[in-house]
Structure 1
Amino acid sequence: MKWLVVLGLVALSECLVRVPLMKVKSMREKLEENGMLKEYLENQAKFLSNDQKKDMTSQSLRNYLDLAYVGLISIGTPPQTFKVMFDTGSADLWVPSFFCITSSCYKHRRFNHKNSSTLKLPPEPISIVKIRYGSGIVMGMLVNDTLKIRDLLNINQAFVLTTWEDQAFGYFVPFDGTLGLAYPDLAKAGGTPVFDNLWKKGLISQNLFAFYLTSKRKRGSMLMLGGVDHSYYHGELRWVPVTKQRFWQVALDSISVNGIVIACYEGCQAILDTGSSVVNGPFEGVLLIQNIIHAQPSLCDKYIIDCKTIAHLPDIVFVIGGVNYPIPARSYIRRVAFGSCVSTFSSFRDRMFSSNTWILGDVFLRLYFSVYDRANNRVGLATAI
């Protein structure tokens, strides 16, 4: 039996494509350093307020304030390289275009359509695609071109060339575009999402992908496409079914501290989000956690903690599929400028999610290697090395 397990792990690791990810300063950190976070949050609150009456079903899971990891792709012939977020919280691929004249686009690498011999523009009249996020809006046109991710060459991939980007995607955003890895039902632009194309065209050997995220080395993090390298985790993968095939959403049994349930009393939902560096949750549950860890409210929605108390604070335990996944204080507390420390638990700023949903960003995913199995609609978790 042991040999069968070993052979299975070897099979999963064969023919996988490794995409290095770079840990970058989040937009929140950059705004804080430049004294602009308060103004940004005020503008974002106005955007969300004005957006209340609009169709929220068109919105993807994304608030770029806390993005922490990005990787490289290339598009076109000859290839043009872009820094993108590989995002389990959305399903579209977009990059800025030379057609885009907003200041947000000028701050990033833009795709020059004239330099690609393989670009296929849509027939006229060209319709504009709008993708709405928690942070703002991008608009553009759906085109097709060759996409390269490491050694994978995906010919005729549909993606959006943006012609307008909200100011939220400006100078302080540490990426050029996004590559969504959520379920196709979440795609808003049309066309087949990237991962689905890789599988349908036989470019990957397994219909799954995995993330290893680390803060120890800037280039140590990894996206694995088409397989799993078991040397990146300890023990065995624990599998849980996806409960709703849009986001990578699973059932969350409870949240506890020192063996006492403090939130999600009767079960709730959790979404695994590679595009966030925090844990988001309902206001009441997050406030209770802040009180337990003695975090005090401060400016710009921050909760300040005495750095000297980190060694004495309890683990926050998320129970998924009957398995405890603790987050220790050294992981959920972040050191910021001037020697202060802040909590990385945050409540939702909008009404996109119900009161029983939590979003587990890289605060959680740095601790637990995660596998996203489209073939069986399940998520696997194991302790990361």
Structure 2
Amino acid sequence: MHSLFWLLSLWTLCLFWPRLQGKLIRIPIQFQASFVASRRQYRASRSSLLVKYNVAGGQDITSRTSGATETLDNRLNLEYAGPISIGTPGQPFNMLFDTGSANLWVPSAECSAKNLACQHHHRYNSSASSTYVPDGRRFAIAYGTGSLSGRLAQDTVSIAQLVVRNQTFGIATHEPGSTFVDTNFAGIVGLGFRAIAEQRIKPLFENMCEQHLVDECMFSFYLKRNGSERMGGELLFGGVDKTKFSGSLTYVPLTYARYWQFQLDGIELGGTIINKNRQAIADTGTALLAAPPREYLIINSLLGGLPTSDKEHLLNCSEIDKLPEIVFIIGGQRFGLQPRDYVRTVTNDDGSTICLSGFTLIEAEFWILGDVFIGRYYTAFDVGHTRIGFAPAA
């Protein structure tokens, strides 16, 4: 009787083992060798952030309507990217996984030679894919140096062993200026909600959930802030990896299921309460910490930052370790960042090394917590329960 029981158990395990293994998908993130970004890259990152949230005029974000693992590549602690493929047979792309947007797009083989960003990356050739379906609609997304534009298409998208059928995405035939020329990613996979997607196109992860490709409708990020070229972190589709964080996740509900927006109970710097009951957005598509005007001025003043004409604050590199900890209170728990986390060491235009405050200004009444924060705190994006969770990264 016992032998029969174990035989049946083994048969059941074997029957469902491929299914169980296919539900949790790991996408690795690779590091670059250098960790000193240029001041130009820092400014470009800040400019893209402001345009992304359309806050130049102080618009409130709440008024806008618009199981697998992926390895991510870390470029100068400014960009984390990982591989996907599109079409049949699959055409490979290194992509930025961005929780602050919701569209998937890649460069097109139809890009002209004048578009250097297209020429520097892999391009999608629709005629080479047997599963390509034309859409007919045009699309455009605004960035700091212009508008990325092209047309929409539908095809199969593969991430690790996950195969997403009938995904609508953008094929960029024009990429503006130098925005994407030097990036280590060809395109973007938006992991925000459909409410912020251009033309309300169904995001990739929503399709993953609807097609039952993951056990749990959630994904999580583990971003390493230092390491080897081979491993910069991990994006996990379908759950969380408890080996990548300590303690338990602190979950809080989303206040608006557009961006990954939630409430900050408070912000403290060196024991001084800066503000209470602010909104914040977790955004893997930016390296920065963006603060509302009041907090921006108070924090950089307390840090002793010297303001520049470019709205940056210079800090004394030899005094970094004497700067205070900043604490974000989320769900009643304290999540701190040390000065080595939030101070950015960059190369100046003349080749010298300078230190800048990692707090940038956003003309809105909410915070953006980018990779500076997510690199210290493992972050679970729970679509199924419209909540977000944080725990100290391992």
Tell me the TM-score normalised to structure 2 length.
0.81
Task: Give the residue type in structure 2 aligned to 1:16.
Answer: L
Task: Give the residue type in structure 2 aligned to 1:203.
Answer: L
Give the deviation of 1:340 after TM superposition. Answer: 2.4
Matched, 1:340 2:350: no
| Corresponding residue number in structure 1 for 2:37 | 29
Task: Give the residue type in structure 2 aligned to 1:365.
Answer: I
Q: Secondary structure at the match of 1:198?
A: helix
Tell me the distance in 2 between the aligned counterparts of 1:142 and 1:314.
48
Tell me the distance in 1 between the aligned counterparts of 2:27 and 2:109.
27
**Distance change in 2, residues 1:43/1:157 (3 Å):** closer
Any conservation in 2 of the 1:131–1:189 contact (CA below 8 Å)?
Answer: no
1:251 corresponds, among 244, 250, 263, to 263
Give the deviation of 1:25 after TM superposition. Answer: 9.0
Tell me the TM-score normalised to structure 1 length.
0.83
Query: Which aligned pairs between 1:18-57 and structure 2 lie closer than 5 A?
Result: 18-23=26-31, 29-30=37-38, 32=40, 57=64
Q: Secondary structure at the match of 2:201?
A: coil
1:90 corresponds, among 101, 104, 109, to 101
C-alpha RMSD over aligned residues = 3.4
Give the deviation of 1:326 after TM superposition. Answer: 0.9
Any conservation in 2 of the 1:21–1:70 contact (CA below 8 Å)?
Answer: yes
Compare CA radii of gyration and give the structure with the larger one. 2
| Corresponding residue number in structure 2 for 1:206 | 216
Tell me the distance in 1 between the aligned counterparts of 2:93 and 2:377.
28
Q: Deviations over 1:44-89 (max 9, x none)?
A: 999999x9699x9477xxxx99842111111111111111110100
Matched, 1:193 2:207: no
Any conservation in 1 of the 2:49–2:286 contact (CA below 8 Å)?
Answer: no
- Between the two proteins, what is the percent identity of the paired residues? 35
Tell me the distance in 1 between the aligned counterparts of 2:23 and 2:43.
47
Q: Secondary structure at the match of 2:296?
A: helix
Tell me the distance in 2 between the aligned counterparts of 1:361 and 1:296.
23
Q: Deviations over 1:276-304 (max 9, x none)?
A: 11100112311211111112123643322
Any conservation in 2 of the 1:295–1:305 contact (CA below 8 Å)?
Answer: yes
Give the deviation of 1:133 after TM superposition. Answer: 4.0
**Distance change in 2, residues 1:199/1:268 (3 Å):** same
| Corresponding residue number in structure 1 for 2:130 | 117
Task: Give the residue type in structure 2 aligned to 1:345.
Answer: F
| Corresponding residue number in structure 1 for 2:116 | 103
Any conservation in 2 of the 1:142–1:190 contact (CA below 8 Å)?
Answer: no
**Distance change in 2, residues 1:242/1:211 (3 Å):** same
Give the deviation of 1:168 after TM superposition. Answer: 4.6
| Corresponding residue number in structure 1 for 2:233 | 221
| Corresponding residue number in structure 1 for 2:301 | 291
Q: Secondary structure at the match of 2:84?
A: strand
Which runs of 5 or more structure 2 residues have no equivalent in the other structure? Answer: 1-19, 67-74
Query: Which aligned pairs between 1:306-385 and structure 2 lie closer than 5 A?
Result: 306-337=316-347, 338-348=352-362, 351=363, 354=364, 356-385=365-394
Tell me the distance in 2 between the aligned counterparts of 1:247 and 1:99.
32
**Distance change in 2, residues 1:370/1:43 (3 Å):** closer
Tell me the distance in 2 between the aligned counterparts of 1:40 and 1:380.
25
Task: Give the residue type in structure 2 aligned to 1:120.
Answer: V
**Distance change in 2, residues 1:190/1:141 (3 Å):** farther
| Corresponding residue number in structure 2 for 1:76 | 87
Give the deviation of 1:135 after TM superposition. Answer: 5.5
Tell me the distance in 1 between the aligned counterparts of 2:94 and 2:358.
25
**Distance change in 2, residues 1:375/1:135 (3 Å):** farther
Tell me the distance in 2 between the aligned counterparts of 1:44 and 1:382.
25
Tell me the distance in 1 between the aligned counterparts of 2:108 and 2:44.
28
Tell me the distance in 2 between the aligned counterparts of 1:52 and 1:113.
39
1:269 corresponds, among 279, 287, 290, to 279
| Corresponding residue number in structure 2 for 1:9 | none
Any conservation in 2 of the 1:368–1:382 contact (CA below 8 Å)?
Answer: yes
Task: Give the residue type in structure 2 aligned to 1:287.
Answer: L
Tell me the distance in 1 between the aligned counterparts of 2:157 and 2:90.
8
Any conservation in 2 of the 1:25–1:68 contact (CA below 8 Å)?
Answer: no
Matched, 1:238 2:247: no
**Distance change in 2, residues 1:239/1:137 (3 Å):** same
**Distance change in 2, residues 1:144/1:25 (3 Å):** farther
Which runs of 5 or more structure 1 residues have no equivalent in the other structure? Answer: 1-11
Q: Secondary structure at the match of 1:342?
A: strand
**What number of residue pairs does the alignment pair up?**
355
